[in-house]
Amino acid sequence: MGFKEGFLWGGALAANQCEGAYLEDGKGLSVPDMLLGGDVNTPRTFCPQTVEDAFYPSHDAIDFYHHYAEDIKLFAGMGFSTLRLSINWARIFPNGDDEEPNEAGLEFYDKVFDECKKYNIEPLITLCHYEIPWAIVTKYNGFTDRRVVDLFVKYATTCFKRYKDKVKYWLTFNEINCATIGEDTAPLYGLGMIDRDLLNATEPITFDKFKYDSQLRFEALHNEFVASALAVKAGHEINPDFMIGNMICHITWYPYTCNPKDMLACQEKDSMFNDFCGDVQVRGEYPEFALNYFRKNGIDYSFITEEDKAILKEGTVDMYTFSYYMSNCVTTDPDVETTGGNLIGGAKNPYVKASDWGWQIDPDGLKYTLKKLSSRYPGLPLMVVENGFGAFDKVEEDGSIHDDYRIDYFRSHIKAMREACDDGVNLIAYTTWGPIDIVSAGTGQLAKRYGFVYVDRHDDGTGDFSRSTKDSYYWYKKCIESNGQDLD
């Protein structure tokens, strides 16, 4: 038992967090280019005008744009059989609604995919990893405008046609369920929507100023479901062998106590955060609990037209993919201590440890989630497309980096996946986040390092972008060589 033969092992990156070259070769601005850096105690800020001398982490990121060949060679050195990357939409359609795609942008990804193929690395490509072109935000208010569905489908179709012989595995929207969170930057990142007043700001704004209309937010999410389904359908017409998946930020929720009220609150959270979007994309219809949520919260869901219902049914995904970093607890007691998390935090679990960013380390939660998904969507191939440990790394005098904490994290999570496979879960791939240090999406930090490969780049903008391997690099290589058996 354990991992199947041909299991795909690799790592995952997002264009905006690694490429840099933010205006090179005709690329337009995208949402992350408008965000300044922060840290664990200081939220990132946003400014629609460029703030001079400020540090924008995505503008140079780790300069993957010019280092891709070196980086892919390093990944091949660990034995990767897949690499998850995203295409930055604004590299292909700089303004989102351009008549013709930007050839230089298309050529860049040709080169990247060819480099992967050289080492038999199968690209796994996210079409939109929070990289909505900024012009789509200013001109259309993102997916709140139905015309953006067509713009996305045109972009997706352009990519499918161009790379049909180079890419088999595709994901439509990264963590589409982040749009169910009505705060912070989640709807801006995920849907490209923003309060119109904020577009006039000339100074950096903190996220507590972000206010989103729930009606509009769920309409925008619906448009994104439709865009995703139309893309799936178009992709299959272009190449019937394509495997096209959704991508959900999955957070395992536990009731903080056995108080039945906690259990009910937990069920609600699990349904609306984890299951809602997956159900729409896998089953092709809104689950009853989501419609009930709309009714109870005064959301008029007449935007789900008969025509759209047919589109959702025709564009169901071929596989379910998700990110998993941690679990969180749900409580109805306002006095319980809370902790941070990916997109959202929760009540602190006394039984597990946490990272320096408060993300709770819980491999059993991953096993639980895999088994839950396997019975929710029987037979559907599953991929864990993000899982990793953000930590401060220390470079020793001789240049070595002893990241045992990261190895521990991966060891326990891979073991949990293996156990789930033993229990019959149809898991086909695992891509760690991120195999090389990159910009953190949540805090904008480079100091929050995830990689097996270290990058000399820092939050004050210093560093020469040189790459070096950490202890975990050799550990993961061994793990891959043994198809996940050797975890010592």
Q: x/- string (CB under 6 A) for ligand BG6, residues 266-305? A: ----------------------------------------
Using CB under 6 A, pick the residue from 19, 71, 115, 175 that binds ligand BG6.
175
Residue number, 172 or 443, with CB nearest to ligand BG6: 443
Q: How far is the CB of 48 from ligand BG6 (least distance, A)?
A: 22
> What are the strands, taking DSSP E only, across 102-207?
122-128, 169-173
Q: How far is the CB of 334 from ligand BG6 (least distance, A)?
A: 26
Tokens of 177: 């369920």
The residue type at 15: A
Distance of alpha carbon 436 from alpha carbon 12, whole angstroms: 9
Query: Rounded to 5 degrees, what are φ and ψ at 259?
Result: -60, 120
State how far Cα 22 lies from the chain centre.
19
Distance of alpha carbon 155 from alpha carbon 144, whole angstroms: 18
Using CB under 6 A, pick the residue from 3, 433, 452, 473 that binds ligand BG6.
433
SS3 235: helix
191 lies in the site for ligand BG6, by CB under 6 A: no
> Sign (positive/negative) of CA torsion 148, 150, 153, 155?
negative
Residue number, 33 or 386, with CB nearest to ligand BG6: 386
Q: How far is the CB of 126 from ligand BG6 (least distance, A)?
A: 9
Tokens of 213: 């209309």
SS3 329: strand
Residue number, 115 or 175, with CB nearest to ligand BG6: 175
- Residue of minimal Cβ distance to ligand BG6: 442
Sheet holding 338-339, edge to edge: 252-255, 327-330, 346-347, 338-339
- In this chain, which stretch among 21-29, 216-224, 440-448, 475-483 interacts with ligand BG6, using CB under 6 A? 440-448
Residue number, 286 or 325, with CB nearest to ligand BG6: 325
Distance of alpha carbon 249 from alpha carbon 229, whole angstroms: 19
- In this chain, which stretch among 36-44, 268-276, 411-419, 441-449 interacts with ligand BG6, using CB under 6 A? 441-449
Residue identified by tokens 């479901």 is 225
180 lies in the site for ligand BG6, by CB under 6 A: no
Q: Could you confirm whether 288 is annotated as catalytic?
A: no
Which of 115, 122, 224, 386 is catalytic? The answer is 386
The answer to whether the CB of 442 falls within 8 A of the CB of 43 is no
Q: Could you confirm whether 219 is annotated as catalytic?
A: no
Tokens of 86: 């995203």
Q: How far is the CB of 448 from ligand BG6 (least distance, A)?
A: 5
Site size toward ligand BG6, by CB under 6 A: 15
Site for ligand BG6 in 389-408 (CB under 6 A): 390
Distance of alpha carbon 234 from alpha carbon 236, whole angstroms: 5
Using CB under 6 A, pick the residue from 45, 327, 440, 472 that binds ligand BG6.
440
- In this chain, which stretch among 153-161, 221-229, 435-443, 464-472 interacts with ligand BG6, using CB under 6 A? 435-443
Query: Rounded to 5 degrees, what are φ and ψ at 283?
Result: -95, -15
Q: x/- string (CB under 6 A) for ligand BG6, residues 315-344? A: --------x------------------x--
Distance (Å) of CA 185 to CA 206, 376, 442, 473? 10, 30, 9, 33
- In this chain, which stretch among 111-119, 204-212, 345-353, 442-450 interacts with ligand BG6, using CB under 6 A? 442-450
Q: x/- string (CB under 6 A) for ligand BG6, residues 340-379? A: --x-------------------------------------
- 376-413 b/e with 16+ CB inside 10 Å = b? ebeebbbbbbbbbbbbebeeeeeeebebeebbebbbeb
The answer to whether the CB of 450 falls within 8 A of the CB of 439 is no
Residue number, 65 or 433, with CB nearest to ligand BG6: 433
Point out which residues bind ligand BG6 (CB under 6 A).
14, 17, 174-175, 249, 323, 342, 386, 390, 433, 440-443, 448
User: Catalytic residues, which ones?
Assistant: 175, 386
